[in-house]
Amino acid sequence: MSDTAAAPATSVAPPVENVVELRDVHAGYLPGVNILNGANLTAAKGELIGIIGPNGAGKSTMLKAIFGQVNVRSGAVILNGQDITGLRANKLVAQGVGFVPQTNNVFPSLSIAENLQMGAYQRPKVVAERIDFVTSVFPDLAKRLQQRAGSLSGGERQMVAMGRALMMDPHVLLLDEPSAGLSPSRQDEAFLRVSEINKAGVTTIMVEQNARRCLQICDRGYVLDQGRDAYTGTGRELLNDPKVIGLYLGTLGA
Ligand X SMILES: Nc1ncnc2c1ncn2[C@@H]1O[C@H](COP(=O)(O)OP(=O)(O)OP(=O)(O)O)[C@@H](O)[C@H]1O
User: Cα(201)–Cα(174) distance, rounded to whole angstroms?
Assistant: 14
Shortest distance (Å) from residue 195 CB to ligand X: 22
User: Cα(244)–Cα(188) distance, rounded to whole angstroms?
Assistant: 23
Shortest distance (Å) from residue 184 CB to Mg ion: 21
User: What binding mask, one character per residue, do residues 209-238 give for ligand X by CB under 6 A, x or -?
Assistant: x-----------------------------
The residue type found at 209 is Q
User: What binding mask, one character per residue, do residues 128-167 give for ligand X by CB under 6 A, x or -?
Assistant: ----------------------------------------
Residue pair 61/70 in contact (Cβ under 8 Å)? The answer is: yes
Residue pair 54/32 in contact (Cβ under 8 Å)? The answer is: no
User: Cα(71)–Cα(239) distance, rounded to whole angstroms?
Assistant: 32
Binding partner of residue 61 among Mg ion, ligand X, none, CB under 5 to 8 Å per kind?
ligand X
The residue among 61 and 111 lying less far from ligand X, judged by its C-beta, is 61
The residue type found at 143 is K
Q: Determine the longest span between alpha carbons in the chain, in angstroms.
A: 79
- Residue 115 as a binder of Mg ion (CB under 5 A): the answer is no
Q: How many CA atoms lie within 13 A of 65 on its CB side?
A: 33
- Residue 105 as a binder of ligand X (CB under 6 A): the answer is no
Shortest distance (Å) from residue 158 CB to ligand X: 15
- Cα 220 versus chain centre, distance: 12
The residue among 112 and 208 lying less far from ligand X, judged by its C-beta, is 208
Please classify residue 224 by burial: count the beta carbons closer than 10 Å to its beta carbon, then call 0-12 exposed, 13-18 middle and 19+ buried.
Answer: buried
Residue by residue, DSSP assigns 18-60 as EEEEEEEEEEESSTT--SEEEEEEEEETT-EEEEE-STTSSHH
User: What binding mask, one character per residue, do residues 38-57 give for ligand X by CB under 6 A, x or -?
Assistant: ---------------x-xxx
Exactly one of 20, 22, 25, 35 binds ligand X (CB under 6 A); that residue is 35
The residue type found at 123 is R
- Residue 60 as a binder of Mg ion (CB under 5 A): the answer is yes
- Residue 60 as a binder of ligand X (CB under 6 A): the answer is yes
Binding partner of residue 178 among ligand X, Mg ion, none, CB under 5 to 8 Å per kind?
none
Q: Which residues bind ligand X (CB under 6 A)?
A: 29-30, 35, 53, 55-61, 209
Q: Which residues bind Mg ion (CB under 5 A)?
A: 59-60
